[in-house]
Chains A and B, each alone.
Chain A
Amino acid sequence: MVVHVMCLTTSGGLPLFTRKRGNGEPLPFSVVASFNGVHMFGKSHSVVLRSTSTQETVILWKVREDSVTLIAAACGASEMLLDQLLTSVFHAMVLAVGINELCSTRNAERLKRELRICYPLVDHLLECVEATGTDLTATCNNDILGLVEVMLCPENHLLQSLVDAWAECMDSLYGFLLIRGCVAVATSSWWQLDPEEKKLLALLVSVKGTCKTCDIPVFLPCKSPAVPFRLIVCGLTGGIQICALCGPSPPLTEVEYVSIQCWKGAVDILRAAERCFPRNFPPCIQLDSGVLGILLVDRQAGKFLLSRNQCADAGKKESQSPSGAHRLDVLRTFYHQVADTFMNHSSDNSEGAAACEQPSTSAALETYWCSEYHKCHALRHGATLLCVLYASAVPIHTMRLITQRTLKFLTADKQLCW
């Protein structure tokens, strides 16, 4: 599987960048030019070319701000997913250089140079689509576009007050604590940001190394596309980073000093919280051994929790059940292909292909999949959706009971701050 993203200026068709992920040849320039050409041809005849597909490849076009044209081409990905990808890629571009820079494409060469800075972020977004990469065993990527990954540590209620206090010292409303790239807790204003913004900010921090202190200018695609904030990151210990969006003050030296003062008494709590990884929910919540993995999603808050049930691993031999990474991939595919499509009830007002095809009122509450090796079951409760991967031996009616119970365990506990 391979996914390509191209970006050109809308007026002149000058290529700004092309990125790809997965194994496949890079697209030759002539192909990129024809993709753009056919789109322009349509435009000159008042036809908007949205997407097309061949047997294995889907191609999607998107023009933003009448100034940049984005094109995605991928095999094995749905149109809906590519639509989301291009939205996120555009937001990543705004985040890096700001909307004004993107709208004034007169100096295309300069813009091209400036956009280099968003490559790491764009590449990561491509990886969210290109899941089954070349090296499944290595950094298996089980990320979901437009949603930020969270971790439900037993320590979260303690960490919450620490983050709130620290953010106040930073003179910031928007503070968040990342553990191994997952948001453990954040201030309430941070949760009010657009899901895309939360996603990109968390991604930006996690593509950097962990033990650094950073001061990165960022434009917020929805909230502040023209005026940059400072994204402040402070690596506390291990894989733990405390982050905030700040104005001109405090200076970075002070950030580090104050962070040490605020967090030095909490080292043990932080270390304990990090031990929750990679299960990502507390060991005290025991799931049925038939549960191989879970994916908990809140579209409204823009967050998800992904975990494989490790106690199920303990008893059995790995060879019997799909490997951990593979399991998460099955769950994610189930989410994309079934749960997200039929059960997404949020009144998505974007011009996304999916939103106009499915009237939002008829969203389903429950669905399942059965295959030779496993079963998947999804249950929606309000904005929260739980997808569970089961061993194939688990009967369908039992699945339902377990999913209901699991959903309650994970979302009702105030200490976990779901």
Chain B
Amino acid sequence: MNLGSIVSLDWQRSAEGETILQHFYDPQTTGRKVFGVLDRPGLPSSIEEVSYKLHITGRSSVGKTATVARLSGIKCPSTYTETAGIQKTNIFWPAKIWDKIILFKLHFWDAGDNSIKRFSHILPACKDKADAIVYVFSFLDNNTFAELPQQMNRMSQTGENPTNIVIGTRYNPTNKLDVSSADVKEFELKWQVPVLKIDNTWSGSRSDSEVHEVALLLNVICERLWMRDQDYLLKQGLTR
């Protein structure tokens, strides 16, 4: 896997990237803008928009909701509240692919793990036509990492062939991590899936640096989705 071969991973730091990103900040709060279903970033309409559904999965309290909040630039409270039912967040993200700027609209489907167990309609709704499954584990709990293969097997039994992405939460070098980097490497090689690292704690004042801290993750997610589309088109072409 060579990440960044399609999506430019540090484009957001370039002058062009910074200019585009201005449309994603809220001038009043200087934090990131949150978009309702009727909203769209005020980008030139010439910029192509692509839309994907991602289902984020993992054990209760592993950090799914915190991760989605972090990726969308929202400060989420540090006290744990279990997610009731499905909570869907739309994240807009501009990425540079080859020489083109593409606006990704990422629909993150997050459901509380206990709700999934109690109500049968929730999991099917999340999995239905998902373009990607995002598996979440915690770097401070090796069990959550060890059960990934099993989870991936269980999830991949649907026909739609979503792409897989893994995110490890609580990744903070000052923590004593329970999951070793060698194990992570081995996992990446064996499953051909990138393992992304995130720290969802919100330290003090984070304004625009917040975006750059999660830019890598979002870029890699966009790249995986884009590659899946290319593979799909290729296969369609061959079978025709």
Interface residues of A (CB under 8 A from B): 96, 113-114, 116-117, 119-120, 208-217, 228, 230-231, 234-238, 240, 248, 251-253, 256, 259-260, 263-264, 267, 270
- B119–A228 CB distance below 8 A: yes
When C-beta atoms are compared, the residue in chain B nearest to A113 turns out to be B114
**Contact partner, A236, options B38, B114, B128, Cβ 8 Å:** B38
When C-beta atoms are compared, the residue in chain B nearest to A120 turns out to be B81
**Contact partner, A210, options B36, B88, B90, Cβ 8 Å:** B36
- B88–A212 CB distance below 8 A: yes
- A238–B84 CB distance below 8 A: no
The yes or no answer to B22 lying at the interface (CB within 8 A) is no
Give how many A-B residue pairs fall within 8 Å (CB-CB).
82
Most buried by A among B85, B122, B129: B85
A264 contact set on B, CB distance < 8 A: 38
- Interface residues in B16-61 by Cβ distance below 8 A to A read 34-39
| A251 to B121 CA separation, bound complex (whole angstroms) | 10
Question: What 0/1 readout, one digit per residue, does chain B (115-148) give for beta carbons within 8 Å of chain A?
Answer: 1001101100100110000000000000000000
A208 contact set on B, CB distance < 8 A: 87
Most buried by B among A119, A253, A263: A253
- A211–B34 CB distance below 8 A: yes
Q: A114-B114, A228-B119 are in contact. Are A216 and B85 (CB under 8 A)?
A: yes
When C-beta atoms are compared, the residue in chain B nearest to A259 turns out to be B37
Instruction: Output the least CB separation between B165 and chain A (Å).
Output: 21
A256 contact set on B, CB distance < 8 A: 37, 88
The yes or no answer to B155 lying at the interface (CB within 8 A) is no
- A240–B85 CB distance below 8 A: no
- A213–B74 CB distance below 8 A: no
**Contact partner, B121, options A209, A248, A263, Cβ 8 Å:** A248
Q: A212-B87, A217-B119, A252-B86 are in contact. Are A119 and B37 (CB under 8 A)?
A: no
| A214 to B88 CA separation, bound complex (whole angstroms) | 6
- A210–B34 CB distance below 8 A: yes
Instruction: Output the least CB separation between B113 and chain A (Å).
Output: 11
Interface residues of B (CB under 8 A from A): 34-39, 69, 74, 81-82, 84-90, 112, 114-115, 118-119, 121-122, 125, 128-129
A263 contact set on B, CB distance < 8 A: 37-38
Give 7 nearest A-B pairs by CB, closest first: A216-B85, A237-B36, A211-B34, A215-B86, A213-B88, A235-B36, A237-B38
Instruction: Output the least CB separation between B121 and chain A (Å).
Output: 7
| A317 to B208 CA separation, bound complex (whole angstroms) | 37
- B81–A119 CB distance below 8 A: yes
13 residue pairs bridging A and B, Cβ less than 8 Å apart: A114-B114, A116-B82, A117-B112, A210-B36, A216-B85, A217-B122, A230-B85, A235-B37, A252-B86, A252-B125, A253-B129, A263-B38, A267-B38
Instruction: Output the least CB separation between B200 and chain A (Å).
Output: 15
| A235 to B37 CA separation, bound complex (whole angstroms) | 6
B38 contact set on A, CB distance < 8 A: 236-237, 260, 263-264, 267, 270
Instruction: Output the least CB separation between B140 and chain A (Å).
Output: 20
- A214–B114 CB distance below 8 A: no
| A138 to B77 CA separation, bound complex (whole angstroms) | 15
Q: A114-B114, A263-B38 are in contact. Are A216 and B84 (CB under 8 A)?
A: yes
A251 contact set on B, CB distance < 8 A: 125, 128
| A251 to B127 CA separation, bound complex (whole angstroms) | 12
Most buried by A among B69, B86, B122: B86
When C-beta atoms are compared, the residue in chain B nearest to A214 turns out to be B87
A267 contact set on B, CB distance < 8 A: 38
- B88–A217 CB distance below 8 A: no
Most buried by B among A114, A216, A228, A270: A216
| A30 to B121 CA separation, bound complex (whole angstroms) | 42
- A211–B84 CB distance below 8 A: no
Q: A117-B84, A215-B125 are in contact. Are A240 and B36 (CB under 8 A)?
A: yes
**Contact partner, B86, options A214, A234, A236, A260, Cβ 8 Å:** A214
When C-beta atoms are compared, the residue in chain B nearest to A234 turns out to be B37
A114 contact set on B, CB distance < 8 A: 114, 118
- A236–B125 CB distance below 8 A: no
| A211 to B32 CA separation, bound complex (whole angstroms) | 12
| A238 to B112 CA separation, bound complex (whole angstroms) | 25
A212 contact set on B, CB distance < 8 A: 87-89
Instruction: Output the least CB separation between B207 and chain A (Å).
Output: 19
| A210 to B69 CA separation, bound complex (whole angstroms) | 12
| A119 to B122 CA separation, bound complex (whole angstroms) | 21
A216 contact set on B, CB distance < 8 A: 84-86
Instruction: Output the least CB separation between B11 and chain A (Å).
Output: 26
Instruction: Output the least CB separation between B196 and chain A (Å).
Output: 22
Q: A237-B38, A256-B37 are in contact. Are A117 and B88 (CB under 8 A)?
A: no
Q: A119-B81, A215-B125, A251-B125 are in contact. Are A209 and B114 (CB under 8 A)?
A: no
| A264 to B88 CA separation, bound complex (whole angstroms) | 19
